[in-house]
Chain A
């Protein structure tokens, strides 16, 4: 057998075809040598020189022969069917079931109009992370109204307790949660990382006499870690945990589903004596709301020429005005209306971008917006990639048309 054959590297498939070739050539010595070569597993070969197992980069690839006769790599060969059939109906997810749970992880959700917010999803994922797939531990989602999407988000059980999310001390929320921890084995109380969630977490922690973990970034089954003192040290919380999870640091639950069966803990909220009297919400004019808080932002860019029209539209829509750096530099909008890296960041529910190209600095400022609608003449602008729905049109024309339809609806 020639040295060149010995030095060549073989995967199983290539080894078989090479063997066939040598047998056809009636070179039995070479064929026997080949047949004795150790093949540990598919996709690997043993280096003849060092006898070490090496990965064969060619092993898993499939070739097709193009019309020209040259081999073409089949890029879809290794991918699952799901990826190849984009938009195909998804198969039902496997359901994790919990029967007679002994330990509990309580997730208290904020909800917005019966829907889970991003913070709620993070909260449930954190609770899931603590409970794991332990058949004896259940994640109970507590909220003050019915919610959709609980099985996908990771809840084993749910319970609706009216008045749970009142933040004015009208109900003894902490006392109720405390009694929950006495009547059953609770491993953790997880809250959404919002102002309200943090409030309840702190006040429950004070009630239970534990230290809360606000904004935990590393959560395991029996510990969680928070960052302290401006990043110098970490605090590791153990035992009964009261925590909120930092967004983006908890692995999301994707390919599994959970029971989300109704649960009866028997806890009810008693109206508490409070010296605070709720007089109801106060809505300030949309344009007075700070950009960080505004629910609906109308943002103009360099593509807007008629600023009077822009301002009129903002009033008609009851939207908070904002602009790109270019616009604020030009003086069309005050500096405190600038969105982006050197301005403010928005976490609006709806962000309507008109004539705005979407520079990276600007896109940083709208990272947390829920729905972005964009109108721009340039289909290659970065905002088009970020937007949920984009329209290729002139901003001024669309604005005047919107204003006309708002003022005189047909």
Chain B
């Protein structure tokens, strides 16, 4: 791959869990942080940002500008067309090499699916849960967070879309001056021919006022006994609790080491 030049970060408005007001989404800010760091380390890189949706919450979007982003484009989706299709048309037009997004801007069922819809429209491969991005000898490398602290390394040889993991480096705090001086640009996707007309608006789930969430205290089985229900409640708590008292430290050490080896966490 030639030297990477253009990155676009998809930014959404997050929710403050304490008061339900809008704010920058923490994982989207982490995606922007990765892009900005990449831009600082590589002179040839240019970092753009795109918000898809109605610009209802300008203040939250300005938080992203406060991180050092010069300008942020806002793309209002065409009525009756899937927003992902509009975004895909805009992004293909600008020919970005890499599209970055946070793994899920806010909590809730459907959150985090938008980048995948965009990737499907643009026929890009998706690399999820990225934590590092670097370029060495003109090759773009990405690291993906895996279970148990492992990082999987990937070489990126073409265009792709990556979602950024919450385990990526923390985002810098926004500066008020930069937030005030940055510009929000409203863009229109003029080229309607490039929007796939078959992409209709997805049927969204029915919304209702939140009911209390109940942890499951029952069991699945219709004929479960009281003992089973007790087990179901206490099953996840762990602690079968074998107690060894009056054991020599030497023997304890041997036993613990043997157990660690059996569980496969220590080197042989």
Q: Which residues of A contact B (CB under 8 A)?
A: 80, 82-83, 112-113, 118, 125, 128-129, 133, 154, 167-169, 194-196, 198-199, 202-203, 205-207, 209-218, 225-239, 243, 247-256, 272, 274-284, 289-290, 292-296, 317-319, 349-350, 352, 369-373, 375, 379, 384-394, 397-398, 401-402, 404-406
Q: How far is the CB of B230 from chain A (nearest CB, A)?
A: 9
| B150 pairs with A227, CB closer than 8 A | no
Task: Give CA–CA (A387, B126) in the complex, Å.
Answer: 41
| A275 pairs with B221, CB closer than 8 A | no
Given the known interface contacts A206-B116, A212-B113, A248-B216, the answer about A254 and B232 at a Cβ–Cβ threshold of 8 Å is yes
Q: How far is the CB of B103 from chain A (nearest CB, A)?
A: 8
* Interface flag for B128 (CB, 8 Å): yes
* A389: contacting residue among B16, B17, B116, B244, CB under 8 A: B244
* Interface flag for B187 (CB, 8 Å): no
* A405: contacting residue among B143, B148, B236, B257, CB under 8 A: B257
Given the known interface contacts A195-B128, A398-B252, the answer about A276 and B156 at a Cβ–Cβ threshold of 8 Å is yes
Give chain A residues whose Cβ lies under 8 Å from the Cβ of B244.
Answer: 389-392
Task: Give CA–CA (A44, B3) in the complex, Å.
Answer: 84
| A252 pairs with B113, CB closer than 8 A | no
Given the known interface contacts A398-B249, A405-B254, the answer about A232 and B210 at a Cβ–Cβ threshold of 8 Å is yes
Residue-wise interface mask of B (167-207) relative to A, using a CB-CB cutoff of 8 A (1 in contact, 0 not): 10000000000000000000000000000000000111111
| A112 pairs with B110, CB closer than 8 A | no
Q: How far is the CB of B143 from chain A (nearest CB, A)?
A: 7
Task: Give CA–CA (A379, B214) in the complex, Å.
Answer: 35
Q: 3 shortest A-B CB distances, which residue pairs?
A: A275-B158, A226-B109, A228-B108
Given the known interface contacts A274-B125, A392-B243, the answer about A279 and B232 at a Cβ–Cβ threshold of 8 Å is no
Given the known interface contacts A167-B128, A386-B239, the answer about A397 and B148 at a Cβ–Cβ threshold of 8 Å is no
| B259 pairs with A373, CB closer than 8 A | yes
Task: Give CA–CA (A290, B149) in the complex, Å.
Answer: 7
Q: How far is the CB of B122 from chain A (nearest CB, A)?
A: 11
User: From B217, which residue of chain A is reached at the shortest CB distance?
Assistant: A251
| A234 pairs with B216, CB closer than 8 A | no
* B202: contacting residue among A129, A211, A249, A296, CB under 8 A: A211
User: From B132, which residue of chain A is reached at the shortest CB distance?
Assistant: A282
Task: Give CA–CA (A369, B148) in the complex, Å.
Answer: 12
Give chain A residues whose Cβ lies under 8 Å from the Cβ of B209.
Answer: 232-234
Q: How far is the CB of A300 from chain B (nearest CB, A)?
A: 15
| B112 pairs with A393, CB closer than 8 A | no
Q: How many residues of B contact A (CB 8 A)?
A: 99
| A289 pairs with B149, CB closer than 8 A | yes
Given the known interface contacts A203-B126, A236-B208, A375-B252, the answer about A384 and B243 at a Cβ–Cβ threshold of 8 Å is yes
| B152 pairs with A237, CB closer than 8 A | no
Given A214-B109, A252-B219: 18 more A-B contacts, CB < 8 Å: A82-B225, A112-B147, A168-B127, A210-B203, A215-B109, A228-B109, A232-B210, A233-B209, A236-B206, A249-B214, A253-B221, A254-B224, A255-B221, A279-B141, A284-B151, A293-B167, A387-B241, A401-B252
Task: Give CA–CA (A253, B224) in the complex, Å.
Answer: 9
> Which of B229-268 touch A at CB < 8 Å?
231-232, 235-236, 238-247, 249-250, 252-257, 259-260, 263-267
User: From A402, which residue of chain B is reached at the shortest CB distance?
Assistant: B253
User: From A242, which residue of chain B is reached at the shortest CB distance?
Assistant: B113
* Interface flag for B30 (CB, 8 Å): no
Task: Give CA–CA (A289, B110) in the complex, Å.
Answer: 30
* Interface flag for B117 (CB, 8 Å): yes
| B242 pairs with A388, CB closer than 8 A | yes
User: Looking at B146, B225, B239, which has the most chain A CB atoms within 10 Å of its CB?
Assistant: B239
Task: Give CA–CA (A127, B158) in the complex, Å.
Answer: 37
A-B contact pairs, 7 of them (CB 8 A): A203-B116, A225-B211, A230-B20, A252-B216, A275-B158, A276-B127, A294-B148
Task: Give CA–CA (A292, B15) in the complex, Å.
Answer: 23
Given the known interface contacts A251-B218, A372-B238, the answer about A198 and B112 at a Cβ–Cβ threshold of 8 Å is yes
| B246 pairs with A392, CB closer than 8 A | yes
| A281 pairs with B153, CB closer than 8 A | yes
User: From B118, which residue of chain A is reached at the shortest CB distance?
Assistant: A206
| B107 pairs with A392, CB closer than 8 A | no
Q: How far is the CB of A211 from chain B (nearest CB, A)?
A: 5
| A277 pairs with B157, CB closer than 8 A | yes
| A352 pairs with B256, CB closer than 8 A | yes
Task: Give CA–CA (A247, B228) in the complex, Å.
Answer: 19
* Interface flag for B59 (CB, 8 Å): no
| A248 pairs with B236, CB closer than 8 A | yes
Give chain B residues whose Cβ lies under 8 Å from the Cβ of A256.
Answer: 220-221
User: From B245, which residue of chain A is reached at the shortest CB distance?
Assistant: A392
Task: Give CA–CA (A243, B205) in the complex, Å.
Answer: 13
* Interface flag for B57 (CB, 8 Å): no
Task: Give CA–CA (A390, B239) in the complex, Å.
Answer: 10
Given the known interface contacts A234-B210, A295-B265, the answer about A390 and B109 at a Cβ–Cβ threshold of 8 Å is no
Given the known interface contacts A254-B221, A275-B156, A405-B253, the answer about A296 and B265 at a Cβ–Cβ threshold of 8 Å is yes
* Interface flag for B227 (CB, 8 Å): yes
User: From B239, which residue of chain A is reached at the shortest CB distance?
Assistant: A386
Give chain B residues whose Cβ lies under 8 Å from the Cβ of A255.
Answer: 219, 221, 223-225, 228
Give chain A residues whose Cβ lies under 8 Å from the Cβ of B225.
Answer: 80, 82, 255
